[in-house]
Chains A and B, each alone.
Chain A
Amino acid sequence: DAGVTQSPTHLIKTRGQHVTLRCSPISGHKSVSWYQQVLGQGPQFIFQYYEKEERGRGNFPDRFSARQFPNYSSELNVNALLLGDSALYLCASSLVRVAYGYTFGSGTRLTVV
């Protein structure tokens, strides 16, 4: 079975631009979450989706949005990029409940210049 796959692996954007990050969960996993990991820190929760509905949102501005598709894949969108949005964006998937922990992808490294 393939793990959690994220694309692209790296990208560079200019301030003010928009970016879309993509995530495919493990087959059978219906829950997808997004985390932002700034260099030197632990990941911070951005969104959680389950069965295409938003179940949780972290303390991030409205420039951040996400959605989950019928096949349970997900997109994270960030508008009006700021230098401070430079980070590793991690996607994680799980079965119904997270009691057994999330499985993470290898992330997308976003650099804003």
Chain B
Amino acid sequence: AQTVTQSQPEMSVQEAETVTLSCTYDTSESDYYLFWYKQPPSRQMILVIRQEAYKQQNATENRFSVNFQKAAKSFSLKISDSQLGDAAMYFCAFISNFGNEKLTFGTGTRLTIIP
């Protein structure tokens, strides 16, 4: 069974600064996908960024980028130029490319942006 661990329950960052959220996972599979989702108070889970395990290049989406270390099973999210609208719960998630299409989530990191 896969597990996803987010060891930082809460993080805070000054507006316009950079913050990194940590995520580690455990799996015996080699073909999978990793995601970061954002959940603001509106409750809707919003996909921030995705990474394919077989791609060595780290994914980037505007101010969001990941540091994917497959051997270490680490998948951290870096948010650059933090904005007030980035305040939310952030969840790391794993899905295998085989078997049922089940997302396994971590417990989340609450990100606060300090004006």
Contact = CB atoms under 8 A, between A and B. Distances in A.
B42 interface: yes
Nearest to B104: A45
Given A41-B107, A42-B106, A48 B101 contact: yes
Nearest to B91: A42
A56 B101 contact: yes
Given A56-B100, A94-B101, A42 B47 contact: no
A92 to B, nearest CB: 7
A55 B102 CA distance: 10
B102 to A, nearest CB: 4
Interface string B4-20: 10000000000000000
Interface residues of B, number: 26
B101 A97 contact: yes
B44 A102 contact: no
B97 A43 contact: no
Contacts of A31: 101
Interface residues on A, range: 20 to 34
A102 B43 contact: no
Interface in B10-44: 33, 35, 37, 42-44
Given A92-B45, A98-B95, A99-B97, A43 B102 contact: no
Given A45-B104, A94-B101, A99-B50, 15 more contacts: A3-B44, A33-B101, A33-B102, A42-B107, A43-B45, A55-B100, A56-B99, A92-B103, A97-B101, A98-B95, A98-B101, A99-B33, A100-B50, A104-B45, A107-B43
27 contacts: A3-B44, A33-B101, A40-B107, A41-B107, A42-B4, A42-B106, A42-B107, A43-B45, A43-B105, A45-B103, A48-B100, A55-B101, A56-B99, A56-B101, A56-B102, A57-B100, A58-B102, A88-B43, A90-B45, A92-B45, A98-B101, A99-B33, A99-B52, A99-B97, A102-B47, A105-B44, A106-B44
Interface of A: 3, 31, 33, 35, 40-45, 48, 50, 55-58, 88, 90, 92, 94, 97-107, 109
